[in-house]
Amino acid sequence: MQEAHSNKHPNDFDDEIDLRELFYVLLEGKWIIVSLTAFVSIIGVIYSLLLPNIYESKAMLVPVNSSSGISGALGSYSGLAGLAGISLPSGGDEGNSAKAIQKISSLSFFENNILTNIHLPDLMAVKSWNSKTNTLTFDDSIYDTNSNTWIRDYSYPQQQIPSAQESFEVFKTEHLSLSEDKKSGFITLSIKHQSPFIAKQWVELSC
């Protein structure tokens, strides 16, 4: 009985030593952990500072001939709209919000309303925007501003000058955002760009 009791203490002592050793290991390695965390944080801050600012311009659309639910929502805002000198439409069929979103996000709408009215390098070759001079800088490996020519590398089915389909994919995935308020039926159209002025211009072209 005494032998069993005596055999218990070495194990307890070993456990205590292991915990102390673990504590010392963590204590000795704390500077490595702190240094690594600080290094990653600094890299993250530098990377974020190097990223260009992205500006967003928004517009709220009310589809013509909207549903009765939308008509009710418009009625509740008509007083405020009147004070602002805005005339809001009313009445209509269901599903016009979805149709409007589908139309605005279509290739044909992009070709007819946007592509013909924008400077294509602003979409496909922009690098940065200077807020002081309100000028854009373009990627010189894609577009040569001196000769106003496209010099980018490309592979089939791409072309030297970006096609309407390729430009549309970039516009839709990187710049355009559409969302619908299910209760009111209002559509929020949002355009992101490095230049706030171009973002505003493209929103107006999309409305």
Tens place of pLDDT per residue across the chain (207 aa): 445 445 555 555 455 556 777 667 666 666 677 777 777 777 766 655 555 688 999 998 887 654 444 444 544 444 444 445 555 444 444 578 888 899 999 999 999 999 999 999 999 999 999 989 999 999 999 999 999 999 999 998 899 999 999 999 999 999 999 999 888 888 999 999 999 999 999 999 988
The predicted structure's pLDDT at residue 1: 47
* Residues 24, 60 share a domain: no
How many distinct structural domains can be found in the chain?
Answer: 2
pLDDT value for 67 = 46
Encoded tokens for 136:
């854009």
Clarify whether residues 59 and 34 are in a common domain. Answer: no
Q: For residue 48, what pLDDT is reported?
A: 55
85 and 167, same structural domain? yes
Is residue 121 domain-shared with residue 92, that is, in the same domain?
Answer: yes
What torsion, rounded to 10 degrees, do the Cα atoms 94, 70, 174, 158 define?
30
Domain that holds residue 113: 55-206
Residues 36 and 75 in one domain: no
Q: What is the pLDDT of residue 83?
A: 45
> Among the three residues 32, 50, 68, which one is the final residue of a domain in this structure?
50
Same domain as 126, residue 69? yes
117 and 202 share one domain: yes
pLDDT, residue 30, reads 67
Query: Do 201 and 126 share a structural domain?
Result: yes
Q: Per-residue DSSP letters for 66-130? A: --HHHHHHHHHHHHHHHHTT-PPP----TTHHHHHHHHHTSHHHIIIIIGGGS-HHHHHTEEEEE
Tokens 């013909």 belong to residue: 116
Question: Quick one: which H or E segment has residue 187?
Answer: strand 187-193
pLDDT of residue 163: 96
Look up tokens 């089939």; give the residue.
Answer: 156
pLDDT, residue 178, reads: 93
Same domain, 43 and 110: no
Whether residue 168 is found in the same domain as residue 117: yes
Claim to verify: residue 26 and residue 114 sit in the same structural domain: no
Q: Are residues 109 and 15 in the same domain?
A: no
Cis check for the bond before 157: say yes or no (omega within 30 of 0). Answer: yes
User: Residue 117 has what pLDDT?
Assistant: 96
